Amino acid sequence: MININELTALEIGEKIKNKEITVLETVDAFISQIEKVDKDVNSFITVDKEEARKKALLIQEKIDSGEISGPLAGVPIAIKDNISTKGLLTTCASKILDGYIPTFSATVIDNIEKAGMITLGKTNMDEFAMGSTTETSHYGETKNPWNLNHVPGGSSGGSCTSVASGEAPVSLGSDTGGSIRQPSSFCGVTGIKPTYGTVSRYGLIAYGSSLDQIGPIGKDVKDAVSLLSVISSYDEKDSTSVKRDDYDFTKYLVDDVKGMKIGVPRDYFTDDMDTEVKEKIYSAIKALEEKGAIVEEFNLSLVPFAIPAYYVIASAEASSNLERFDGVKYGFRAEDYDDLHSMYKKTRSEGFGSEVKRRIMLGSFVLSSGYYDAYYLKALKVKALIKEAFDKAFAKYDVIIAPAAPTVAPKLGESLKDPMKMYLSDIYTISVNLCGLPGMSVPVGKSEGGLPIGMQIIANRWDEANMIKTAFAYESTGEYEKCQMLKGGEA
């Protein structure tokens, strides 16, 4: 008997098409896994069980009649809870969006529905995507399925754990400073942050508008890339959406890196990194070299400046993006206020968690009168310099290989004690967002303690092709340990 939960999304799609399994069977298999393990992992804020089962029958009909025929038709999917889903609770893991049911869906939701995919539910995350551990959620922390005493990473922690623990075949996350790539690395799954402008942000509840991108998470490169092809589109509703020539990225799933020029930044592989992480990535690079890639070390430069520039820009944008949560239009409104401003302040102070408030305060400060030039404008100039550094690198290399994080997943509770340390751990992922580059994390094995390690592949803007080729070629070497999904009660 086949275990549906262990199949990849493409395998599921294939078996549905061949009538080996039904859509409803598939949905039920994932729902039962959620019911079995989610009390331990806490991947989901909302599970849309009834609706998903209803949709399953509907989609089955459409597949049978030939109306839908894509490779992911009938495949269930988990959605990060900052992506608007019409009629389905969307909270950003914040109390302030308590009870908020969007009246419209994000463009990516329209896209997955057109492809015949079925939303299982909404996944847990750091509140408003601010955090790297999925511990700041109003709905409790999510745990790493490989070791429940460790964090899954974040902010798309729930999306990554849902895939890693067999609760969903694929999922959608969002990435503002590494929020797809870092938890993918910690959970042993594949996650892609596309070039800024590739996937519509319409309906994604904004954290840092100039940095946010939605991206796919899957068990392997093929799944993630297939899902990327589904969600990518030019969208007239998103002014920052850019029309690309082609949205079929699956054609780059080619096992060939002969002559591919790979740059390895010396200033990324420093002593601050875990040796285990470093070794695993080096051996992955070696595997690529053996396949014919040309590997060269180089100095990227400016590495330490990415984090401070990022925190100024992201916090500034966040402080403005989160102003709309005020108790007037949706979500939570505090009780017992005296007047308008006390209503605003009470609502926001009670509705936002401490990490969100910390970033709103910082963002409001750096934009305030007298500080704009010194902080905000300075950060935008540094961003320009960092972009130049990457432009220079991509003049020489097709892709850059980097860690996704300096360590494996830390223990629960460790990071929040020292936010500065948590911010510093984003060092390898943040520049990709500042420069709008595509980046992805692929599993390269596990630590001695049994925690997954990921490798990040970064390409130039619009060059998903080389990034995907490199990832697929590495995955084809089959040298890493395949993930194992969590089984209920085994923890």
Partner 1 sequence: MSNHISDETIEYVGILAQLDLNEEEKVKAKEDMEQMLEYIDTLNELDTEGIEPKTHISDTTNVFREDVVTNGDGSDDVLANAPLKKDEYLSVPKTIG
Partner 2 sequence: MSKQYETVIGLEVHVELATKTKIFCGCSTEFGGAPNTHTCPVCTGQPGSLPVLNKQVVEYAMAIGVATNCDITPICKFDRKNYFYPDNPQNYQISQLYLPIAHDGYVEIEINGKKKKVRIHEMHMEEDAGKLIHDEWTNSSLVDYNRSGVPLVEIVSEPDMRNADEVMAYLEKLRLIIQYLGASDAKLHEGSMRADVNLSVREVGTEEFGTRTEMKNLNSFKAIARAIEGETKRQIELIEDGRKVVQETRRWDDNKESSHAMRSKEDAKDYRYFPEPDLVPISISKEWISEIKEKQPELREEKLARYKEEFEIPKYDAEILTGSKHLADIFEETTKLSGKPKKVSNWLMVEGLRLVKENNMEMEDIHFKPASLAIIIDLVDKGEINNQVAKEVFELVFKEDIDPEKYIEEKGLKSVNDTDELKKVVEEIIANNPKSVEDYHNGKEKAIGFLVGQTMKAMKGKANPGIVNKLLKELL
Is residue 376 near partner 2 by the rule CB under 8 A? yes
Q: Tell me which residue of 116, 130, 109, 36 sits closest to 73, measured CA to CA.
A: 116
Give the tokens for residue 122: 């909404």
Which residues within the stretch 146-185 sit at the binding site for partner 1 (CB under 8 A)? none
Q: Whole-angstrom Cα distance, residue 274 to residue 121?
A: 35
Residue 172 contacts partner 2 per CB under 8 A: no
Does 435 interact with partner 1 (rule: CB under 8 A)?
Answer: yes
- Give the DSSP letter string of 469-486: HHHHHHHHT--SPPP---
* 203 counts as binding partner 2 under rule CB under 8 A: yes
Contact call for residues 68 and 84 (beta carbons, < 8 A) = no
434 neighbors 306 (Cβ within 8 angstroms)? yes
Q: Rounded to an integer, what distance in angstroms lies between the CA atom of residue 282 and that of residue 453?
A: 12
- With contacts defined by CB under 8 A, how many residues of the chain interact with partner 1? 70
Is 179 labeled as catalytic in the residue annotation? yes
Looking at residues 440 to 459 of the shown chain, list those that interact with partner 1 (rule: CB under 8 A).
Answer: none
The enclosing H or E element of 459 equals strand 452-459
**Residues 151, 488: Cα–Cα separation, whole Å:** 18
Please give the Cα distance from 229 to 13 (Å, whole number). Answer: 15
Contact 131, 151 (CB under 8 A): no
Interaction between residue 104 and partner 1 (CB under 8 A): yes
What is the gyration radius of the CA atoms in the chain, in angstroms?
21
Positions 237 through 296 that interact with partner 2 (CB under 8 A):
237-240
Partner whose footprint covers residue 488, from partner 1, partner 2, none (CB < 5 to 8 Å by kind): none
CA nearest neighbour of 300 among 270, 280, 275, 276: 270
Do residues 447 and 186 lie in contact, with contact meaning Cβ atoms separated by under 8 Å? no
Residue whose CB is less far from partner 2, 106 or 483: 106
Per CB under 8 A, the segment of 125-133, 224-232, 259-267, 349-357 that binds partner 1 is 349-357
Nearer to partner 2, 223 or 238 (CB): 238
Residue 390 engages partner 1 in binding (rule: CB under 8 A): no
- Please tell me whether residue 127 binds partner 2 under the rule CB under 8 A: no
> Is 216:170 a contact under the CB 8 Å cutoff?
yes
Phi, psi of 484, rounded to the nearest 5 degrees: -125, 135
- Note whether 301 binds partner 2 by CB under 8 A: no
Site string for partner 1, 182-221 (x = CB under 8 A): --------------xx------------x-----------
Q: For tokens 């809870």, what's the residue?
A: 81
| 299 touching partner 1, by CB under 8 A | no
Helix locations, 337-428, DSSP H: 340-351, 354-367, 378-396, 414-417, 419-424
We find the least distance from the C-beta atom of residue 177 to partner 2, in angstroms, to be: 15
Please report the DSSP string for 59-76 in residue order: HHHHHHTTS---TTTT-E
Does residue 146 touch partner 2 according to CB under 8 A?
A: no
Q: Is 368 in the site for partner 1 (CB under 8 A)?
A: yes
301 binds partner 1 (CB under 8 A): no
Q: Which of residues 330 and 397 has its CB atom nearest to partner 2 in the complex? A: 330
φ, ψ (nearest 5 deg) of residue 302: 65, 10
Catalytic residue among 43, 84, 179, 226: 179
Sheet bearing 261-265, strands edge to edge: 44-47, 118-123, 76-80, 170-175, 213-218, 190-193, 439-446, 452-459, 399-403, 261-265, 294-298
Known active-site residue 155: yes
Site string for partner 2, 336-375 (x = CB under 8 A): ----xx--x-------------------x--xxx--x---
Residue matched to tokens 């590997």: 295
- From 6-14, 182-190, 269-277, 378-386, give the range in contact with partner 1 by CB under 8 A: 378-386
| Chosen from partner 1, partner 2, none, partner binding at 337 (C-beta under 5 to 8 Å by type) | partner 1
Q: Is 101 in the site for partner 2 (CB under 8 A)?
A: no
Among 65, 341, 478, 489, binds partner 1 (CB under 8 A): 341
Q: Which amino acid is at 256?
A: D
CB 147 within 8 A of CB 449: yes
Q: Which residues bind partner 2 (CB under 8 A)?
A: 83-84, 90, 92, 97, 100, 102-104, 106, 201-206, 208-210, 236-240, 316-317, 319-320, 323-326, 328-330, 340-341, 344, 364, 367-369, 372, 376
Mind telling me the catalytic residues?
80, 155, 179
Which spans of this chain sit near partner 1 (rule: CB under 8 A)?
99-101, 103-104, 196-197, 210, 236, 239-240, 242, 302, 304-305, 307-309, 311-312, 319, 323, 326-333, 337-346, 348-349, 352, 354, 357-358, 360-362, 364-366, 368, 375, 377-385, 387, 419-420, 434-436, 461
